Amino acid sequence: MAKSVGLDIHSCGVRVLEVTGRGSKFRVTRYEERAVAPMGGAPDPEELREVLSEVFKGRRFSRNCVIAAVDAHDTVVREIPVPFKSDDQIRKVIKYEAEHHLHNCDAYDVVVQYARIGESAEGTKLIVFAARKEDIARKVTACRAAGVEPLAMDLDALAMFNAVRASGVIEGAASCAMLHIGNRSTEMVFAAEGRLHALRSVRMGVDSIAQGLARDMDIDVAEAGTKLTDLAEDEEQGDLLVPVDPMSEKKETEKSHAELERDLFHVKRNEFLARLKREYVRFAATASPMSTPERVLVSGPGLLVPGLLDLLGAKLGVSLEAFQPSQVCPCKLGDTAAEQFDAGSPVALGLALKGLHNDPLGLDFRQEDWKVANKFELLKVPLAVTVTLLFFSLLVFSLFCVTKKNRIQEKRFDPMLNKAYQAYAEVARKFNDLGEVLVPRRDQVDPNRVERSGPRYLAIHRFVGSLKTMRRRLYKKVGNDKGLTPINSALKIWNDIFHVIRENHEKLGYIDFETIDIRQERITLTMIVESATAMEFLKERLKNLDSLAGLDLEPPGVDPVGKYVKTRFAFQERHRRRGR
């Protein structure tokens, strides 16, 4: 199963959450929350590196797919209209369109991302987010120092919205407002029909209560934080319903030191709630001027402040619901308290779900200078799965081929080859037996060598080839090569001529040969015969001979010698006589 880790680095610490699954089916398998001492509004880099290393190594979080958060309160958020509808066109101009709305920074110093919130005939209405590159660089550097490479980065407010949407709690709601009350800031998100509609981040978190206490009690912030925790615990044990005006119950001079501290806590909490109410009302009026949201969800560390949810609900005059991931998602929390997990996890959960491709907005703030250079990091999990599947497929295929080859070779090929080998060896032996004069040593054939040279499946073809070579060499030896005109044996022609004479001896009478000249292209016979009649008779018989079929007979000359006749028969090849 795919694993993804959400890494929320906020001003006071880190929250790391790991989910396992695919798409909408996921399960939280690990969660860790650690505090880091702040240094100038950001976590101390050295301590952050140590904490991250310890968390990832100690809790064995996966480093393959880590998604980190960008603080929304450090990001400029604007709603702007553009006269385009297609993403390609918007992407080309968005940075320059946004530049007009970025008054306190240069467009080249920010990474600009956008989300569509509405369309009209004239164009598209967008929410543009401009995150400072130096903030992105600071977080990426801190992660890299701890051996973690974030594959993508997203706004914490959008991550919280993503977590709420993926958990299905706002399914079916026409409109919904979400408040993420963090330590230093509060993010407000308005969604209509499950889609992002408006987003705002105000620099006001629950830490402001501790800071107020520290200022009024003249103690440092850390001590005020401890005191705030003690007061919260006391209040949890007591009545959670705080009187509207607790100071009016008893005179100041009659109160104990603890009561005064608690009163001060109530004052600061009320101040915080009043400011929060003011900001929320402004936000709600801008985001949805015509109607109030159907549901209002609250998440974040603010939930850990006792009574804050109820008091805020009472001040706003709406019913607030706490977003509790432990109630809506399958989780394996271990020794982490459910309240702590619910308060801290939404942002990290939303980021982790982004790694599982469960993110409809699909924004990534690791762009331009800080774009993920190593694509392998993105692809390695699917690559590993593909390579593994291919490996096993090929393994099965190879085994199949090898088995098939062995079966064919043993059952059918080898018996055939053995028979051929025996027959071939017998022929080769005879060929070699011809001796050194007829078959030079270099021409001799070794059957084993012929069989074993080259692939085994071609052995029979090699036998045939070798036999052809042997045949060709022998044909050359006996002068029987193709393309050569065969020799007509002069002995055969001679035998044929004398066979005719012997058969017709009675009719021919006396014959005496003066010369007999038999060549391939010309035959000349000079002889003395009894009479011209005998000569004509012999002439007719010789013309009919098969062995003289290709030759023309020149008119024989007649020369009387006493009572006999001397004559000369000359047979000539036809084309020669024509003078070719």
Judged by CB under 8 A, the chain residues 109 through 168 that form the site for another protein are: 147
Q: Could you say which of 244, 485, 578, 579 contacts another protein (CB under 8 A)?
A: 485
> Quick check: 53 binds another protein (CB under 8 A)?
no
Q: Could you say which of 93, 338, 408, 532 contacts another protein (CB under 8 A)?
A: 408
Q: Which distant-in-sequence residues (6+ apart) come within 8 Å of 213 by Cβ?
A: 219, 224, 227, 228, 264, 265, 268
Binding segment for another protein among 161-169, 310-318, 487-495, 545-553 (CB under 8 A)?
487-495
Q: Could you say which of 37, 285, 484, 532 contacts another protein (CB under 8 A)?
A: 484
DSSP label at residue 556: P
Give the x-and-dash track for 382-401 against another protein (CB under 8 A): -xx--xx-xx--xx-xx--x
Q: Could you say which of 87, 433, 446, 559 contacts another protein (CB under 8 A)?
A: 433
Interface positions, 354-383, toward another protein (CB under 8 A) = 376, 380-381, 383
Alpha helices in 359-458 (DSSP H): 375-408, 414-432, 435-438, 447-452
Q: Which distant-in-sequence residues (6+ apart) come within 8 Å of 565 by Cβ?
A: 528, 529, 530, 531, 532, 534, 535, 558, 559
- Nearer Cβ to another protein (216/426): 426
> Quick check: 490 binds another protein (CB under 8 A)?
yes
> Quick check: 80 binds another protein (CB under 8 A)?
no
Q: Could you tell me whether strands 564-573 and 551-553 are parallel, antiparallel, or unpaired per DSSP bridges?
A: antiparallel
Reported for 234-237, long-range contacts at CB under 8 A and 24+ positions apart, including other chains, are 234/262, 235/262, 235/306, 235/307, 236/306
453 φ, ψ (degrees, to nearest 5): -80, 125
Q: How far is the CB of 114 from another protein (least distance, A)?
A: 33
Interface positions, 308-327, toward another protein (CB under 8 A) = none
Nearest to 161 by CA among 115, 211, 95, 109: 115
Rounded to whole angstroms, the Cα distance separating 553 from 404 reads 72
Rounded to whole angstroms, the Cα distance separating 31 from 218 reads 36
> Quick check: 57 binds another protein (CB under 8 A)?
no
> Quick check: 56 binds another protein (CB under 8 A)?
no
- Nearer Cβ to another protein (254/546): 546
> Quick check: 434 binds another protein (CB under 8 A)?
yes
Q: Could you say which of 105, 173, 314, 516 contacts another protein (CB under 8 A)?
A: 516
- Nearer Cβ to another protein (93/464): 464
Reported for 369-372, long-range contacts at CB under 8 A and 24+ positions apart, including other chains, are 369/133, 369/137, 370/111, 370/133, 370/136, 370/137, 370/140, 372/149, 372/151, 372/152
Cross-strand bridge partners of residue 128: 78, 114
Interface positions, 287-306, toward another protein (CB under 8 A) = none
- Nearer Cβ to another protein (25/472): 472
Q: How far is the CB of 65 from another protein (least distance, A)?
A: 10
- Nearer Cβ to another protein (61/129): 61
Q: How far is the CB of 372 from another protein (least distance, A)?
A: 15
Which of helix, strand or coil describes residue 526?
A: strand
The two tokens of residue 271 are: 């101040």
527 φ, ψ (degrees, to nearest 5): -150, 165
Q: Could you say which of 86, 237, 319, 515 contacts another protein (CB under 8 A)?
A: 515
Q: Could you say which of 40, 479, 555, 579 contacts another protein (CB under 8 A)?
A: 479
